[in-house]
Structure 1
Amino acid sequence: MNLSTKQEIFLNFLIKRIGFLDDSFLTLYLYALGKVSGRFKVLGSQHRNTYDEERDGRWKHYELVGDYYIPDTFDIFDFLNYEVKLKNKKDYKLKKNSTGIITATDIANFTYCPVSFSIGRTFHTKKIESAIIGKSMHEKNVLFYYLQPFKEFSAESYEQKIKQHTFGQFENDNNRDFINDIKSSTLIYSGHADEESKKKYFSNSKKNFYGQPDYIFKSNCDGKIFVVEEKFQFVNKDPSDYKNQENFTEIEQERVKKRKLNRFFSNHQNQVNAYVHGIMDPAIDYGYLVYWKYEMDNGLPEIIACSVKKILKNDESKSAFGNAFKEIHKLIKQGKTGFNINDRSHLKCASCVTGVFCGHKTGRFSEITFPYDSNFLKLKYVEFPEELKKEKDVKTENHTSKLPI
Structure 2
Amino acid sequence: MSTVITSPNSALQRDGGASASSTSSISLPASVVQTVAINLADRSYPITIAPGLLATPATYAALPKATAALIVTNTTVAPLYADALRSALAPKYAQVHTVVLPDGEEHKNWQTLNLIFDALLQHGCDRKTVLFALGGGVVGDMTGFAAASYMRGVPFVQVPTTLLAQVDSSVGGKTAINHPLGKNMIGAFYQPQLVVCDLSTLDTLPVRELSAGLAEVIKYGPIADMDFMGWLEEHMDALLARDRTALAHAVRRSCEIKAWVVGQDEREAGLRAILNFGHTFGHAIEAGMGYGAWLHGEGVGAGMVMAAELSRRLGLVDDAFAARLKTLVQRAGLPLRGPVLDAADNAGRYLELMRVDKKAEAGEIRFVLIDGPGRACVRAAPDALVREVIDACCAG
**TM-score after normalising by structure 2:** 0.27
